[in-house]
Amino acid sequence: MPQFQAHSSELYRERAKLWADNRTVIGASDAGAHLDIIDTFAVPTVVLESAVRKYGVISLKQAIHQLTAKAAGLVSLRERGELREGWHADIVIFDPNQSRGRPRREILRCIVQTGSY
């Protein structure tokens, strides 16, 4: 297995190749079993920040598709993952030029200091 420097353009180019495969989906989860030591809950914002904006290895449209329709299809969720009349939807509005992943320590500090995230 090739070794890559964390958050390098080479790493994101390889990830983009994997994401293009219909058998893969962007994400990392074990349903919160290790929330105290694994902070992969920022995957969507990290993808937008790094893969789309910083390294440009995937388009914004492709990233949104990966995070929504492709993920819903992988687990056979019907009428979800796309904005279509009559389908179920949660809509997230964000600024693609400002979205960023936040380190877990920063999130925890916000919660401790202000009581909210």
pTM above 0.85, yes or no: no
pLDDT(4) > 60? yes
pLDDT at site 104 = 59
Dihedrals phi, psi of 19, to nearest 5 degrees: -65, -25
Mean per-residue pLDDT, 68-88: 92
CA-closest candidate to residue 16, choices 55, 69, 74: 55
Residue 83 has pLDDT above 80, yes or no: yes
Examine the pLDDT at 57 and tell me if it is beyond 90: yes
pLDDT score, position 77: 92
**Tens of pLDDT, residues 93-110:** 888 887 776 665 666 666
Q: What residues have CB less than 8 Å from 89, skipping those under 6 apart? A: 80, 83
- Averaged pLDDT, 19-46: 72
